């Protein structure tokens, strides 16, 4: 049991499809999170990031979105404020899950509907292979422990703040 009240827990949205190669990276990394980090988080696994999931985050809560990313080398880990994801041209990285709307539009729409911007972070890992039935690429598989560590670091940081 956590010493942190539920309202101070970090909401973690794990995006990806476990059967689509590198798109499985975030669910696999979530399985590697240590118990102390799990005690700080409310984890929700999603196939794709949608406005509904962002609207379910309490107004005063921090959120971490974890996903495979395109636009960066496979296996490279990025940690970006959510407001930077809303401006993908600046970062070079964009979440890769098959979103109905592009991630920047999902975030902008959620912010508008909530009446305030989300406080949080995108933690991503560059992916190369997203075909159904494929395992993660060698680059992503090798970087999964570092991806899980980056995810854990952000959860701890946001829980402390």
pLDDT at 153: 97
pLDDT at 1: 34
pLDDT at 91: 47
* pLDDT above 80: residue 20: yes
Lowest mean pLDDT among 53-62, 73-82, 106-115, 144-153: 106-115
pLDDT at 7: 44
**Domains (ranges, CATH) in the chain?**
6-91+100-160 (3.40.50.1450)
The model's pTM is 0.84
* pLDDT above 70: residue 55: yes
The model's pLDDT over 77-128, given as tens digits with 9 standing for 90+, comes to 999 988 877 665 544 445 554 445 666 778 777 777 877 778 899 999 999 9
Q: Two tokens at 146?
A: 């570092």
Per the prediction, the chain carries an average pLDDT of 84
Q: Determine the average pLDDT of the residues in 154-158.
A: 96
The larger pLDDT score, comparing residue 74 to residue 54, is at 74
**Cα–Cα distance for residue pair 66/62, rounded to 1 Å:** 13
Contact 80/95 with Cβ under 8 angstroms? no
* The pairing of beta strand 41-46 with beta strand 62-70: unpaired
The larger pLDDT score, comparing residue 154 to residue 22, is at 154
Instruction: Classify residue 5 as exposed, middle or buried by CB count within 10 Å of its CB (0-12, 13-18, 19+).
Output: exposed
**Cα–Cα distance for residue pair 92/47, rounded to 1 Å:** 22
3-class SS letters over the chain:
CCCCCHHHCEEEEEECCCCCHHHHHHHHHHHCCCHHHHCCEEEEEECCCCHHHHHCCCCCCEEEEEEEEECCCCCCEEEEEHHHHCCHHHCCCEECCCCCCCHHHHHHHHHHHHCCCCEEEEEEEECCCCCCCCCCCHHHHHHHHHHHHHHHHHHHHHHHC
pLDDT at 110: 79
């Amino acid at each position: 049991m956590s010493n942190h009240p539920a309202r101070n827990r970090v909401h973690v949205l794990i995006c990806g499809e476990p059967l689509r190669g590198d798109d499985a990276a975030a669910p696999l990394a979530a399985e590697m999170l240590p118990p102390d980090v799990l005690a700080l988080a409310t984890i929700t696994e999603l196939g794709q990031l949608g406005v509904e999931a962002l609207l379910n985050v309490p107004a005063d809560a921090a959120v971490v979105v974890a996903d495979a990313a395109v636009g960066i080398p496979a296996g490279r880990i990025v940690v970006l404020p959510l407001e930077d994801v809303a401006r993908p041209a600046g970062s070079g990285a964009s979440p890769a899950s098959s979103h109905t709307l592009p991630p920047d539009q999902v975030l902008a729409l959620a912010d508008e509907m909530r009446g305030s911007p989300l406080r949080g972070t995108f933690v991503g890992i560059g992916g190369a292979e997203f075909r159904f039935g494929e395992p993660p690429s060698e680059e992503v598989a090798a970087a999964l422990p570092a991806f899980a560590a980056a995810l854990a670091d952000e959860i701890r940081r946001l829980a402390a703040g």
